[in-house]
Structure 1
């Protein structure tokens, strides 16, 4: 009897070990799929930089969608570790199976999944709304986190699109940027709170698929600090650390700003520390005569703030990205900005200030204390007014 039981166990073990059960399978709703290929692709990003990026992931497998909408990725692969895959669909005519869309969460064409050796993942989705509709049966905690992240992204994007519909023209650039930051903030909050590496890394990439963290370098640095502590040897964490190098990012809140030398409008030269002097609050404003939102901010925000607080220790240094001395001076006079300090190398976009602060986008500003420490930055409109009001009231 014991011998028969032993043989039965051996047989069951061999049967399981030779299982042809698919590692990932699923069903697609093809009702609105006329423009989509009846194919599903299994793509593996081989690093943090490739995560969610077109043409960089490695194609591992493909599966034709049958008449019932079913697809599957063959037998269990010989992969020893837990791995992140991207399950991808493509439109008819697309040449590349690893092209990923990051334009609209409602129609983006891929979904990330965590697969562990021996696991059998079953998913469902509508092919024309693949990322938005993808679900996993009895998901692991990591795959549940991906679905949660996807829903956060989708809902935040809807609100973002609604905001954009009310903001057109160059004058509304700052309002559009604020709406975009609100969208990003939902994803950043998820990354800050989640304790699972891969969902956090996906959130970081979705915050800026193009890899532009100029306006939010503090977020990137914070994520690097978090994951260097939790998973210091993971190769993707090391990639994150390289992208979060503070020497390559804009000056951070809490940093000491460099004591730069400025060519002043009156022809003199002065260092930033000398200009700050004993002022309570110092605003370094980076603007241009050709920048419509900058000009509006001059007239509607900076003039009233300067008039209200200058006598109490509030000063502004406006650095102009100018190539024309005359256009620069005309804008200063027309906006009433002659009240405060002005400097420019008159070298256009490529100038020592932008290089030193490692910024490329304007309007930009830095609010500094009496010692040149960055208290806040890139505040505009009501947010800038509220900050200055509060700071001056407390000091």
Structure 2
């Protein structure tokens, strides 16, 4: 008390104001909790791969939700740089770092960016945590994250919600893949358009929480190139660019397709470059046991081959087979024996797949006359339209 008397009153006011304005806090209120049976966790992803990933982020604090729905964290990052955090709500006793990613409406977490000294107050509903998540006076970067959340929710409702595909049916499996890609494109467009690193990286991780970018590797490369220009020293940018190195991704659009030796159904071994069509080549990956592949053979590739082969279209098919008799029978039955067929007869362990770094079929690469990939993984009507447009020029 004696010391305080020596400090002028106006200095006490300044000190008090400074303490209030720099005191960090993250607090909020969660609606829809009938009793004290929920805990909110504050999770800090240590790496790019940890973002939006269950069990990987570090729990730096937790707070039991009180009977009035309120909570407050006490232990926050002290660094001066903005930090990406995730708030996750769980029934008390459930693993805190579990993040629900299957359905945005049921997602139990929300990423935010925390800047030391800036208080954050949130409101949300317990059973629709991510979808209902709101911030009082959000910063620009958190506004971007909220906008991304809305884009994700709308895209999910548009393309995936309540869809029940019978994936054992070839047409339905391809329809599901197309719908997933449309959902991903909405997130990719956001990432391409924003100049905020953390929201872009969250979008990138929401594109595939499973970390599988086989169908959209060009997006990964584009994001690496974009952020490498502006923030090359950020550790997460370095991790992103490591993941987007050529040896980690399938052959990209714009790449020259590898001139691989192919063991043909005719027992010859031929180089791919010697098989290219005069104008267009479809390198088609298929298997006798792959229902959508078989449908594509009969409904799409046979008509295209019949119409355009003499004009410069070639199809080089590679089959993931271990049974030669089954391969030949399926090709004959589908009419696929009309075009070039190759297989190492080593099933999923095929050397060809390893060289082009592909794990999922059906897949295809459409090459120009020089063997450069101009587009890939087009199926059905989209593939037909692409081929027709190239021969109508």
Secondary structure of 1:165 counterpart = coil
- 1:273 corresponds in structure 2 to 273
Q: Name the CA distance, whole Å, in 2 between partners of 1:105 and 1:71.
A: 23
Deviation at 1:10, TM superposition (A): 2.4
Equivalences for residues 51-130 of structure 1 within 5 A:
51-74=51-74, 78-94=78-94, 96-130=95-129
Following superposition, the deviation at residue 387 of structure 1 comes to 0.3
- Structure 1 distance, partners of 2:75, 2:332, is 73
1:367 lines up with 2:351 in the alignment? no
Alpha-carbon distance in 1 for matches of 2:213, 2:248: 11
Q: Classify 1:246/1:7 alpha carbon distance in 2 versus 1 (closer, same or farther; 3 Å).
A: farther
**Residues paired across the two proteins, number:** 386
Shift, 1:37, TM fit: 3.4
Match of 2:302 in 1: 303
Q: Does 1:182 align with 2:204?
A: no
Corresponding position of 1:10: 11
1:161 Cα deviation from its structure 2 partner: 2.5
Counterpart CA distance in 2 for 1:217 and 1:37 is 42
Secondary structure of 2:258 counterpart: coil
Distance 2:325 2:165 in 1: 35
Structure 1 partner of 2:29: 27
2:133 and 2:231 mapped to 1: Cα distance? 29
What is the rounded CA distance, in whole Å, between the counterparts of 1:121 and 1:238 in structure 2? 29
Q: CA deviation at 1:383?
A: 0.4
Shift in alpha-carbon separation, 1:185–1:76, aligned structure 2, 3 A: closer
Contact 1:27 1:125 in 2 (8 A): yes
State the Cα distance separating 1:374 from its structure 2 match. 0.3
TM-score by length of 1: 0.94
Within the alignment, does 1:379 sit opposite 2:378 as a pair? yes
Give SS of 1:84's match.
Answer: strand
Moved more, 45-54 or 197-206: 45-54
Question: Paired residue for 2:235?
Answer: 235
Say if 1:261 and 1:270, in contact at 8 Å, map to a contact too: yes
Gap change, CA 1:306 and 1:139, over 3 Å in 2: same
* Residue 376 (structure 1) shift: 0.7
In the alignment, is residue 169 of structure 1 matched against residue 168 of structure 2? yes
Contact 2:284/2:315 (8 A) holds in 1: yes
Question: Matched residue of 2:366: which SS?
Answer: strand
Residue 76 and residue 102 in structure 1: after superposition, are their counterparts in 2 closer, same or farther (change >3 A)? closer
Mapped to 2, the partners of 1:185 and 1:379 lie a distance apart of 15
Q: State TM-score, norm by structure 2.
A: 0.94
Unaligned runs of 5+ in 1: none
1:162 and 1:222 mapped to 2: Cα distance?
Answer: 29
Shift in alpha-carbon separation, 1:75–1:353, aligned structure 2, 3 A: closer
Structure 2 regions of 5+ residues with no counterpart?
A: none
- The root-mean-square deviation of aligned C-alpha atoms, in Å, is 1.8
**CA distance, structure 2, for counterparts of residue 77 and residue 310 of structure 1:** 63
Partner-residue secondary structure (3-state), 1:89: strand
Give the ranges of 4+ consecutive aligned residues of structure 1 lying more than 6 Å apart after TM superposition. Answer: none
Contact 2:24–2:118 (Cα < 8 Å) also in 1: no
Structure 1 segment 105-254 matched on structure 2, within 5 A: 105-162=104-161, 164-165=163-164, 168-171=167-170, 172-254=172-254
